[in-house]
Structure formats: C-alpha cells, structure tokens
Structure 1
Amino acid sequence: MLTDLNIAILGGDARQLEVIRKLTELDANLILVGYDQLDHGYTGAKKMEMDEVDFTSIDIIVLPVSGTGQKGEIDTIFSNKKMVLTVEQLKLTPPGCHIYSGISNAYLNKIVSDSGRKLTQLFERDDVAIYNSIPTAEGTIMMVIQHTDITIHQSNTVILGFGRVGMTVARSFQALGANVKVGARRSEHIARIAEMGFTPFHLDALKNEVWNVDVCINTIPSAIVNSDVISKMPSHALIVDLASKPGGTDFRFAEKRGIKAMLAPGLPGIVAPKTAGKIVANVLSQLIYEDRKSRKG
C-alpha cells in the first residue's frame, strides 16, 4: 500500500485515468493538477491549480507520458489552463522527491538535475516499451487501413528500426500477409530480422529499398526518411512515422512530392488508452512501492 504518500499528477491524457485509479486503490493521497474538466471523482484525490500546490509536501510527481515541452509546459486534455513545471517548484519538494515521466527532454533533465531530484523515464524500461508496442502496432494497422486504398495483405511494407516497437510492428504486418522488409544498422538486428522471416537490409541502402514501397513505417527518432529517400518512393506510398516528435521524416518534402506522411507518436493513448494506461499504472505503482520500501530499509 502507498498510504500517506503524497503524489501530484500533473496533466496527461486518458491513460492517466488508469494511473489515478490504481494509485487511489493503493491508498495514496493524490493531487490532480490540470483536471478541472474531469467529471469523475476519486476517493483520496483533490483537484488543484498549479499555484495552489504545496510542493514542500509532495513525495512523488507524475508527469504525462510526453513529459514536458521545451519550456516546461505540461499538456493535458482535461483543462484549457496552461501549466508549466519549473526548477523553483522542484527545489521546494522534499529532497527525496521522485519524478516519473514517460519520456524526457533537455529541459526536464536540466531542472531535475539542478534541483537534485531523481527522474525515472518509464518508456526507457523494456517492460513498458514492449507492452506498449502492442497497442502501437494495432494503431499503426488502423492508420494504414484508413489511409490507403489497398489491403495490407500483399502490400510492400518497409519498417525502419528493429527495436521494441519495430519488432512488434513487423510481426503484426507479416501476420496480415504483407511483404515485410526491415531496415537496421546493427549486425545482430540484421541477423534476427532474417531469422524471423523478414527481408533485411542495412539502413545505409534505404533509398535503394523503397522504389516499390506501399507503406513505410519509421520508428527511428532521427532524420532517416529524408528527401533523397522520399524522392525514390512511388507517389502512392504512405509514410507512418512512429518516432517521438519531431519524427524522422522530411514532412515538407513529402507534401511537396504529394506523398502522404503522418507523424503518429503516442498511438497507444489514442487507440487503446485504457490498456495503455493500465500498462503505465501497473509498472509505476510497483516502482513507487519498491522505492518507498528501499527508503525504509
């Protein structure tokens, strides 16, 4: 149980509702910031404005999956009011205050470091990322069906990256009968791609592998689908970029070429927020429990 633990949940989307539900079941004291438009009430949870929060009493801060913006802004779908997390607020918290976020950026890393607090990125964990790849793959299938006039079966599908998301997406499209090619850099990934029955290629040869592509799915958060690559694609190709913002696609050039390209991070929160929320809630609650237990010795 998390009795007497003061947890501030700052912003978020529908996934955070499962986090709130789980933490209230564990008897934590919750402060919900950015939830003024949420009708549902939770026992042990209080809605507050950012300037009403007594940060000196906060043991845990839970940020949205997306973390913060580059200036500390926090997104929420349950309020129209702007929220910003600052280093001054973090410095007010007790020395043992722990911040949890899905991902991070330079701003969040700096204010956590400057305040001497601890940050855990949930999506850096293999368990969260692998579980989360399931709704990501389902959402990708949904987008491809919606935005093409062909079946996935027998389509020429190129997947870039063979990490936790790329592997699940590749298997899912292969199961639907697509002709799947997967691009990677590491030799062990190339070997695993071949072993799993996909057609492997090195990413250095990417522009030579897309001449007949119907669907290109990128999972790499760097400028991989550039103008050289897009210029070699047929005009009917669809690009779905699953990498975190700003993605790895030259969207301006794709539009110029008349190729449909969509940035689609955070698909689990769109297509399956309840399932995605439970994944985050279960891991988060276990981490908080273990952290509390270790402090007590």
Structure 2
Amino acid sequence: MLTGLTIVFLGGDARQVEVINKCVEMDATVRAVGFERLGTPLVGASYHTLTPALLEEADVIVLPVVGCNDQGEIDAPFSTGTLTLKKELFSAVKEGVLVYTGMAKNYLKKLTEECGLRLIEMLDRDDVAIYNSIPTAEGAVMMAIQNTNITIHGSICMVLGIGRTGFTLARTLQGLGANVQVGVRKEADFARAVQMGWKPFAATDLNAYTGAVDLIFNTIPTMIVTAQIISKLSREAVIIDLASAPGGTDFRFAEKRGIKALLAPGLPGIVAPKTAGIIMANTLCQSILEEFHLRGDEE
C-alpha cells in the first residue's frame, strides 16, 4: 500500500486517469493538477493549481508520458490553462523526491538534476515497453487497414527494427496472413527472424528490398526511409512510422511523390488509453513501493 505518501500528478491524458485511480486505490494521498475539464470526477483525489506550496508537500511527482516539451510546457488536455514547469516551482520540492514520467526531454532532465530530484523514465523499462507494444501493434494494423485498399492477408509488409515494438508488430502481421520482411541490425535478430518464419535482411541494405512492398512499418528513430528508398516504392505503398518524432522517414519527399506516409508515435494512448494507463499504473505503483521499501531498509 502507498499509505502516508503524497503523490502530485501534473497533467496527462486519459492514461493518467487510470494511474491516479490506482494510486487512490493503493491509499496514497493524491493531489491532481490540470484535470478541471475532466468529465468524470476523480474520486478520492483533490484538485489543485500548480504552486510551490503544493510541490513542497510531494513525496512523488508524476508527469505525463512525455514529461514536458523543451519550453517546460506539460501536456494537459483536461486543463483550463497552460501548465509550465519552471525552476522556481521545482526548487520548492524536497531533495530526493521521485519524479516519474514516460520519457523525458533535455529540459526536464536538466531541471530535475539541478534541483536534486530523481527522475525515473518508465518507458526505459522493458516490461512497460513490451506491454505497450501490444496496443502499438494493434494501432499500427488499424492505421494500415484504414489507409490501404488491400487486405493485410497476402500483403507484403516490411517491419524496420525488431526491438520490443517491431517484434510484436511483425508477429501480429504474420498472424493476419501477411508476408513479413524485417530489417535487422544484429546477427541475433537475423536468427530470431528466421526462427519466427520472417524474411530478414540487413537494415543497411534496405535499398535493395523495397520494390514490391505494400506497407512499411518503421520503428527505428533515425532517418532510414530516405528519399532514395521512397523513390523505389509503388505509389500505392503506405509508410507508417512508429518511431518517436520526428520519425525515421523523409515525409517531405513522400508527400512530393504522392506516397502516403504517416507519423504515429504514442499509439497506446490513442487506440487503447485504458489499457495503456493500467500498464503504467501497475508499474508505477510497484516502482514506488520498491523505492520506499529500499529507503526504509537503508534507514
């Protein structure tokens, strides 16, 4: 249980609502900022504005999946105003307080370091990333169906990168009857792809494999689907880029050539916010329990 801990939530979308509910269920004292426009009231949590006095009470601070942008602005779709993190606010936070987010940009990393706070990025955890790969794969398939005039079954689908997201996606496409090709960067990934029944190739040799592809799904966060690659694709081909913005696709050239290319980061929160929120909630509560248990042992 989280009895006796004060957790302050700063903004967030529908996923964050699931996390708040879980923390309330675990008997934490929950303060919520940026949820005034939420249609359903947060039972067991209290509503607040963002002030130094509020942050001074916190044992744990929870930010949205993307903590804030490079100007310190927090994603808060349920807020009536703009929430901005500033040093004068975080300077009020007790040293050593845990700050949770999904992934942090440099602004947040620098701010927490300067204020002596411990930043924990949940999406760095293998368990969260693997669980999140399921709604990501489902969302990618949904986008493919919506943006093509062919079935997934029998199509030629290329997945670039078979990390945690790429592996789940390739297996999902295979289950729907697609002919799956995978661009890999490691010998171990090549062997795994063969074992799964996919057709692997070195991602560095992508230029030689794009001719007859119907769908390209990219998970590699560097420029890989270049103008040279796009120039060889059929105009009917569709590119779905799942990498973090700005993605790994030359979207300008794709548009110029008339090829549909879609940037789709953050699919779990779009297609399955409840499931994605439960994943984050369970992991966050377990992490907090572990952190404070360890602190208790040290004391």
**Aligned residues of 1:28 and 1:44 also touching (Cα < 8 A):** no
Q: Is the 8 A contact 1:9 1:62 kept in 2?
A: yes
The letter of the residue matching 1:24 is V
Pair 1:169–1:53, CA change in 2 (3 A): farther
Please state whether the residue corresponding to 2:213 is helix, strand or coil: coil
Alignment: residue pair count: 297
**Secondary structure at the residue paired with 2:235?**
coil
Equivalent position of 1:187 in the other structure: 187
CA contact (8 A) 2:52 2:90 kept: no
SS of 2:83 mapped into structure 1: coil
TM-score scaled by length of structure 2: 0.96
Q: Is residue 23 of structure 1 aligned with residue 4 of structure 2? A: no
- Distance (whole Å) between structure 2 residues aligned to residue 177 and residue 22 of structure 1: 38
Partner of 2:229: 229
**Equivalent position of 1:126 in the other structure:** 126
Give the aligned partner of residue 166 of structure 1.
166
Deviates more, 1:53-62 or 1:232-241: 53-62
* Structure 1 residues 267-296: Cα deviation after superposition (integer angstroms, max 9, x where no partner): 111111111111000000000111111111
Instruction: Give TM-score, length-normalised by structure 1.
Output: 0.97
Structure 1 unaligned spans of 5+: none
Shift of 1:58: 1.0
Q: Which residue number corresponds to residue 143 of structure 1?
A: 143
Look up the match of 1:257: 257
Q: Aligned partners of 2:41 and 2:80: how far apart in 1?
A: 19
Deviations 1:179-200 (A, max 9, x none): 1000011111111111111000
Tell me, in whole angstroms, the C-alpha distance in 2 between the residues paired with 1:121 and 1:256.
Answer: 37
Which position in structure 1 is the counterpart of 2:206?
Answer: 206
Measured after TM superposition, the shift of residue 6 of structure 1 is 1.1
Amino acid at match of 1:294: L
2:286 & 2:256 partners in 1: Cα distance? 48
User: 1:54 is paired with a residue of what secondary structure?
Assistant: helix
Q: Residues 24 and 42 of structure 1 are in contact (CA less than 8 Å); yes or no, is this contact kept in structure 2?
A: no
Letter in 2 for 1:63: L
Partners of 1:91 and 1:223 in 2: CA distance: 38
**1:256 aligns to what SS in structure 2?**
helix
Of the structure 1 ranges 46-55 and 274-283, higher mean CA displacement relative to structure 2 is found in 46-55
1:38 is matched by which residue type in structure 2?
A: L
Q: Tell me, yes or no, if the aligned pair for 1:9 and 1:30 is still in contact at 8 Å.
A: yes
Contact 1:64–1:75 under 8 Å retained in 2: yes
- 1:113 aligns with 113
Letter in structure 2 aligned against 1:124: D
> Partners of 1:80 and 1:249 in 2: how far apart?
35
In structure 2, distance between residues paired with 1:259 and 1:226: 13
Deviations 1:130-182 (A, max 9, x none): 01101111111111011100000111100001100000000000110111000
| Cα distance in 2 between the residues matched to 1:203 and 1:57 | 50
State the Cα RMSD in Å. 1.2
Percent identity between matched residues is: 51
2:280 aligned partner: 280
Q: What secondary structure does 1:195 align onto?
A: helix
For 1:41 and 1:53, locate their aligned partners in 2 and report how far apart those are by CA, in whole Å: 24
- For the Cα contact (< 8 Å) 1:74–1:85, is it kept in 2? yes
